[in-house]
Structure 1
Amino acid sequence: MQTADDAAYAGRHVQVDGVELLNFGGCSYLGLEQRTELRDGAIAAIRRYGTQFSFSRAYVQSPLYQQLEAALDAMTGGFALVAPSTTLAHIAALPVLVQPGDAVLVDLLTHASVHVASGLLGSTPVTSVPHNDIDRLDHKIARLANKYRRIWLLLDGLYSMHGDFAPLEPLRALMQKHPALHLYMDDAHATSWLGKHGRGWVLDNLSERDRVVVALSLNKAFSAGGSALILPTAQARATVRRCGGPMLFSGPVPPPMLGAAVASAELHLRPEFSDLQRDVMERIDLVLALAEQLGVHFVTEERSPIFFVHCGHLGAMVHLTRALRTRGIYVSPCPFPSVPTGQEGIRFTVSRHNTEEDIRYLMEALSIENRKLHEGQESGTIAIEHGLPPDPIETPVAS
């Protein structure tokens, strides 16, 4: 819960407490927030409509919504409905899509916002299931199908903490085996940097989507504001818009963010957009190659821009985070409740803001500090078993 200094921000560094740190914690994987097109789109929308278009969308919506949803339809091949945030998209959609006579299964590691929305389903039975355990899912769905009309499985496309993907091929097989199975997938962290036109992991790999609803983020790599539900039919889109609570009573996305989102969507549809995605993949592959060379182990080694180093407990996590901070590197510490107790670690991300030199510096520092931590704990020179280590004496120095 830190506050960045009031300093110019260009993406490569973040300044905290007067210290400029290499930024390995943001989610702007493509670095689009600094693009001229997006800035100009936001400015043009402010000049035309002001800082807000102060109507409930249930009565009158900004014309920018239609422009944005049309561009998102072209990006995704589905029926897009823009919402003020991904959380509000879930809260709007799930109570409308899940009907009496349905049952709901929620992957244990699905984003907290999905769990929050699933808690609004009234008398509908909602059960948590182990993460990506296809065999357990198969048995659970088979039992529920004897009693319930439809079974909704709620899960992420790309999991935001460990950077692992949903296993789409096994899920496709489950859908073929169980006609009652429907998928509701939060693909916020795969939006933009992955898939044709940036449509993400799920939409790029599931061709049959008549029983699939996907939520994309217009924040993060998309670099604007809000979220988009990609629904399988125009009727489903209309139903969620007319009946989904937050679509009626929450504030609309402000014009500057809609303007930036339209500009971002248009950029996604350009042929050269894939070059930006390729830049991110090159950085991901560099991290994975250096990890193998330097003996750095991640919880998963999938090709995503999210990496998680398991520390084991809170004290070790804090120690490693601070050690990297003294080297001028910002990473994200992950304690409970972002991960279960005893599974604490550090999470870092890579983006087009990071240079090859930055990534090499990070990985070498991580290898050294992680090794020092483990050797120090084994020898007893670093005694931080489960408490917090003392504050570092050194003042962090920027790289």
Structure 2
Amino acid sequence: MNPEHLDTQFSKIYEVAQHAKNLGVAHLTSNEESYNGREITINQRKHVNFSSCSYLGLALDQRVIEGAIDGVKRFGTSFPTSRSFLTLGYLETLENKLEALFGHSCIVTTSTSLAHAAFLPLFINSKDVFIADHQVHTSVGVASEILRAKGCHRDIVRHNDVDKLEEKIITHSKSHRNIWFLADGIYSMYGDKAPLAELRRLLDTYENFHVYIDDAHGMSWTGSNGKGYVLSKAELHPRMVLSTSLGKAFGSIGGVLVCHNPALKHTIKACGSSFIFSSPVPPSVIGASIASADIHLSPEISALQAQLRDRINLFKNSALSVGLPILGAGDTPIFFIPSGTPQTCFELSQKMMEYGFYQSSAVFPSVPYNSAGIRLTLTNWLDLEDIEKVVKVLYEQREKVLNKEKISEQDIKKHFKGIDFNLTLA
């Protein structure tokens, strides 16, 4: 099969991806024999790495690594038995630690995508409607396609538009049993946050309103014991289900569903397709996750969070001081610098790589076509000097690229309706 056989949407995705590959900013391979987190080698040249989501640096923590090794030594590379019949007690040890961390019942999955696939088709059916935030993570969107196949009605709401969401709740309640809202806690591209206080108000107001929220990018770096952004702001509502990641800042891999009560956990384990038919969590992942959970349950997690906050504040203040526009409040480890079209974004990425910095190009389909930008993620592996330098270089090179393409800040801003810029573009 050739690219010309793709439908219109995937043809456009292929075109953007191929253009990025041709320009040398995507589909790359690192040349490391070992990895230190701070630097990545591309085409035999070292680049300071602003693309990692291991925000606290735990993916290279020796205790987490030793935990993975211990899991393999004790239980082998895999335990290939359906969890419907038999579960390693080792996994229950991990879930018990996570329940101490979150304060609620937890069930671990091999990935966040499989967490979505286990829960959503189980509790949402053709009598319900689900409303997706426009920027909800693609993994949630893919799982929700199962719902559409079951005959569930889907609706979409503009990103973080609570007023419009409430209108839709009222409208759909006339013809549907339950209204489900699918959202992220911290949005992976723009680094902005779900309006949790407003969602709580809607949950308290409408008895048929439910929320499924993915806090993968809010995990570990904030909240007591690193329980994440969502639970740092509010208690888990009885009609809210939280999914989050044991990868990214947690430093292992896999997902976890946080449930309001043990009965919900049991139902998911008994009926969720991911638990009946897919492979169980590998012992290496369980061991690494147990080691990370122990760190989260210790006072050390607060020190790691403070270290990252210093880097977040430095980036934000440096950007404000030079006039580099960022989206949102600038208080998460994800910084999005708007650039407009994919072409402009790729040009800017090329320039940054020439100066020895690697970062993600956030382009279609991850964001709308004309809402592309440079996405930088901060980790504790980065030096403070790295952050000061990247802001300076990014500001200078962005100005040159926009001038070359004859694009103004206002040209860019019109494609980000409903999303707050910092004061440099207010």
One of 204, 207, 210 as aligned partner of 2:235: 207
Say if 2:126 and 2:153, in contact at 8 Å, map to a contact too: no
Equivalent residue, structure 1, for 2:324? 296
TM-score w.r.t. the length of structure 2 is: 0.87
Shift of 1:73: 0.5
Q: Work out the CA distance in 2 between the residues paired with 1:245 and 1:54.
A: 16
Amino acid at match of 1:259: G
Question: Shift of residue 6 of structure 1?
Answer: 3.5
Q: Deviations over 1:264-306 (max 9, x none)?
A: 0111000221110111111101000000111100122331000
Partner letter of residue 74 of structure 1?
A
1:328-343 pair list within 5 angstroms: 328-343=356-371
Q: Please state how far the C-alpha of 1:208 moved relative to its aligned partner.
A: 4.7
1:151 aligns with 2:176: no
1:120-158 residue CA offsets vs partner (Å, 9 max, x unmatched): 111121111111111111111012223322211010000
Matching residue's letter, 2:329: E
CA offset digits 1:157-197 (Å, max 9, x no partner): 00000000001111111112211111100000011111111
1:28-53 Cα distance to aligned partner (Å, 9 max, x none): 00000111211111111111111111
Counterpart AA for 1:98? I
For residue 333 of structure 1, give the secondary structure of its aligned residue in structure 2.
strand
1:66 is matched with 92
- Contact residue 225 and residue 253 of structure 1 kept, 8 A: no
- Counterpart position of 1:180: 208
Q: Distance in 2 between matches of 1:293 and 1:374?
A: 20
**1:132 matches 2:160:** yes
**Contact 1:80/1:229, CA 8 A, preserved across alignment:** yes
Paired residues for 1:1-399 under 5 Å:
1-121=27-147, 122-378=150-406
Alignment TM-score, normalising by the size of structure 1: 0.93
- Cα distance in 2 for partners of 1:238, 1:350 equals 37
1:100 positional shift: 4.8
In 2: Cα distance, 1:157 partner to 1:262 partner:
24
**Superposed displacement of residue 99, structure 1:** 4.0
- Give structure 1 stretches of 5+ with no counterpart: 380-399
Task: Note if contact 1:27-1:220 (Cα within 8 Å) is conserved in structure 2.
Answer: yes
Counterpart residue type for residue 293 of structure 2: A
Gaps of at least 5 residues in structure 2 are 1-26, 408-426
Per-residue CA distance 1:308-328 (angstroms, 9 max, x = gap)? 111111221111000000010
Distance of 1:235 and 1:147 partners within structure 2: 29
In structure 1, distance between residues paired with 2:38 and 2:351: 20
* TM-align CA RMSD: 1.3
Q: CA deviation at 1:352?
A: 0.2
Q: Secondary structure at the match of 1:274?
A: helix
Q: Structure 1 127/283 Cα, relative in aligned 2: closer, same or farther at 3 Å?
A: same
Amino acid at match of 1:151: I
Letter in 2 for 1:130: R
Contact residue 25 and residue 332 of structure 1 kept, 8 A: yes
Given residue 219 of structure 2, which amino acid in structure 1 is its aligned partner?
T
Distance 2:321 2:168 in 1: 42
Q: Is the 8 A contact 1:64 1:262 kept in 2?
A: no
Q: Which one-letter code corresponds to 1:358 in the other structure?
A: D
Amino acid in the other structure paired with 1:357: E
The 3-state SS of whatever aligns with 2:67 is helix
